[in-house]
Amino acid sequence: MTKAIHAERPPDGEVRQAQLITTFGPGAMMDLPKYAVLVGGLGFWSPGAIVHERRLSARLAALLNLSSIELRTPPATEGDDKPRFGVRVFQFPEWFLAAAPEQGELEDPEGVRSRALVHRKALKGGAYEDRDRRRRPVVPVRFVRACPRGHIGDIDWYAFAHNGPSDCKKQGRGLFLDERGTGGDLGDLDVRCDCGARRGLIEARELKALPLGRCGGERPWLGALSHEDCGLPNRLLTRAASNAYFPQAMSVISLPDQSDAVRAAVDAAWDFLEGANDLEAVRKERQKRKVKELLSGVTDEDVWAELEQRRGGGLSEEKPVKQAELEVLAAAQEELGQDRPDGVFYARALAGGQWRRPWAAAVQRVVLAHRLREVVALAGFTRFEPPALNAQGELDLDVRPAALALDTTWLPAYENHGEGIFLQFRADAAREWAARDTVQRRYAALREGFMAWRAEHQENRNAELPSPEYWMLHSFSHLLLTAITLGCGYPSSSLRERVYAVPSTGYGILIYTGAPDAEGTLGGLVEAGRRIGDFGEAALRLGTLCSNDPVCAQHSPAVGQERRFLQGAACHGCLLIAETSCERHNQFLDRALVVPTLERSGSEFFPALEAAGA
């Protein structure tokens, strides 16, 4: 757990370390028991231990145009007898709503509830004192202004209520939020000033009129005076909305290679080698008895080469994340890695007799990963529009991320230890399928939807449409994940996917699970992998008929009314899963590319189960 604290005060709350990367990172809004806060930037964190993952740190350093970057765990809870460390948070927003009057105090016969809208500086002892000197509790207002680049600030409520400048603030006139009904919809809310000025809050959503003005580039999570140029139109943002914070995280699967022994030795002796700045310094450190024991069997030259790589050397030679992973997974014959308690990866190929079925004619190999380590790091965040990973597992920086610190020297990261199932598909089968006329016609319809989506999202104007192979593998991955969930009791949110569609290397999917605990998981997913033939058949049956058919099967991505531009035959009744499990936020899905649907488009990769003899 990590403590959110203010200087020397006792902690105001606690969150899990992983949540500081996936949910409550720098710039995120959080509700604590007594007030709402904004999580401070990395300059207000006490970094934890170093996480060693050369591939990830190298890719992130290159993406952020840095010579090198460290990965460190978020701060962890310390015992009461130790100094307090944690994450500093800032009170936000600074505007509050007073508690509504009792029913008998309402003056409006229509039942309009009028609540005072007050600034933090007008509170007395944390409460609002009304005109009759009655103290009323307050709650943070749930509306703020923000822009897609992550900038955020309080709404100028006086300017909004008067639709421009006014002297009412200087005159000390009060502001009120009038609410009709009980739904809390924007159309039922009015901002009113004592002078009589009134304006419906729903007008704040009309961007063309700039009702909230232009963004001044405020970054309060980095400090009170941290601004940058922006000028985008401010948008109305509900603090608890799902689009208030999108972490820009990137992950890799740690893979074994010929340098494993060197990396393990350097990890063990890191406390001694961290300050070594040349080969001679390494040799000097080795003279210590403890270091000599830890580096046994490893040369000084290998140690220095590893230190250089960790500090940013050789970035230009790094392969894309998924290409490197697929090359290793596809090369697995009988066994890969070492099966030891401190190992990061160990996998065995599953004998063909255990998974060969008619539906799996295009499957080349099944690999069961008994041990795997995933490292996840936070590189930035956005609001309103989620950042995306491209098909190669790289962060797409077309959506400009908000900075995590004024001077970024490290990024928060955490490790998951777990297990997984890897299915490699025959590259020739995938390419031949993608070249079929029926597939190309279906792909053209998906492209139309993608172009309509990109026209509405100018910040994603350079985004690329994934290949037909990716759409198919991604959709099958969701069906397989759901089948495993239904068949062996795993919660869907505990399983995750990685889709590999690398033309130069091959095609495959990895379904995996993991936990931050170093012991990892208990082998349940590997056991499910031994029944992959059954689960694959169940997945295809799930995709053939959706509970929302024929509406789902007949969906056209380019139709603007539904606004599902990045989905073909896909909905919550068939393909959509927990977004934390999907690497593309439930986008780029179409089961018509996987199995025959009611549309009978002829674009399916897998034949009908009856035709396949299943």
Q: Are 114 and 183 in contact (CB under 8 A)?
A: no
Nearest to 449, CA basis, from 351, 323, 587: 587
Query: Which of 218-250 are b and which e, b meaning 16 or more Cβ less than 10 Å from the residue's Cβ?
Result: bbbbbeeeeeeebeebbbbbebeeeebbbbbbb
Q: Looking at the whole model, is its pTM more than 0.85? A: no
* pLDDT computed for residue 83 by the predictor: 47
Q: Say if residue 257 is exposed, middle or buried (CB neighbours under 10 Å; 0-12, 13-18, 19+).
A: exposed
Single-letter residue type at 592: A
Please, what sign has the CA dihedral across residues 600, 602, 606, 609? positive
Check whether 511 has a pLDDT greater than 90: yes
As given in the structure block, the two tokens for residue 70 are 């460290």
Q: How confident is the model at residue 391 (pLDDT cuts 50, 70, 90)?
A: low
Check whether 547 has a pLDDT greater than 70: yes
Residues contacting 307, CB < 8 A, separation 6+: 266, 273, 276, 282
* pLDDT computed for residue 496 by the predictor: 92
Check whether 5 has a pLDDT greater than 50: no
Dihedral Cα 293, 299, 303, 305, nearest 10 deg: 180
* pLDDT computed for residue 129 by the predictor: 81
Kindly report the number of other CB atoms within 10 A of residue 331's CB atom: 8
d(CA 594, CA 605): 5
Q: How confident is the model at residue 280 (pLDDT cuts 50, 70, 90)?
A: confident
Q: Are 224 and 256 in contact (CB under 8 A)?
A: no
What mean pLDDT is reported for the chain? 84
As given in the structure block, the two tokens for residue 601 are 């488009």
pLDDT-wise least confident of 65-69, 396-400, 514-518: 396-400
Kindly report the number of other CB atoms within 10 A of residue 135's CB atom: 15
Q: Are 422 and 369 in contact (CB under 8 A)?
A: yes
d(CA 603, CA 601): 5
* pLDDT computed for residue 316 by the predictor: 41
Please, what sign has the CA dihedral across residues 263, 264, 265, 269? positive
Check whether 499 has a pLDDT greater than 90: yes
Check whether 6 has a pLDDT greater than 70: no
d(CA 189, CA 89): 30
As given in the structure block, the two tokens for residue 538 are 């169940």
* pLDDT computed for residue 102 by the predictor: 43
Q: How confident is the model at residue 100 (pLDDT cuts 50, 70, 90)?
A: low
pLDDT-wise least confident of 145-154, 297-306, 348-357, 404-413: 297-306
Comparison of pLDDT for 435 and 183, the residue scoring more: 435
As given in the structure block, the two tokens for residue 431 are 């390419």
Q: What is the mean pLDDT of residues 574-581?
A: 90
* pLDDT computed for residue 125 by the predictor: 80
Share of the chain above pLDDT 90, in %: 33
Question: What are the phi and psi torsion angles at 533 (to 5°)?
Answer: -60, -45
Q: Are 397 and 62 in contact (CB under 8 A)?
A: no
Q: What is the pLDDT of residues 427-440, one digit of tens each?
A: 999 999 999 999 99
Q: What is the mean pLDDT of residues 372-381?
A: 91
Q: How confident is the model at residue 261 (pLDDT cuts 50, 70, 90)?
A: low
* pLDDT computed for residue 187 by the predictor: 83
Single-letter residue type at 186: L
Single-letter residue type at 290: K
Nearest to 344, CA basis, from 266, 419, 439, 404: 419
Check whether 282 has a pLDDT greater than 90: no
Comparison of pLDDT for 392 and 347, the residue scoring more: 347
| Strand-pair partners of 192 | 176, 198
Query: Which of 410-432 are b and which e, b meaning 16 or more Cβ less than 10 Å from the residue's Cβ?
Result: bbbbbbbbbbbbbbbbebeebee
DSSP reduced 3-state for 416: strand
Q: How confident is the model at residue 104 (pLDDT cuts 50, 70, 90)?
A: very low
Q: What is the pLDDT of residues 31-51, one digit of tens each?
A: 887 789 999 999 999 888 889
Share of the chain above pLDDT 70, in %: 86
Q: What is the mean pLDDT of residues 248-262?
A: 75
Check whether 403 has a pLDDT greater than 70: yes
d(CA 246, CA 397): 13
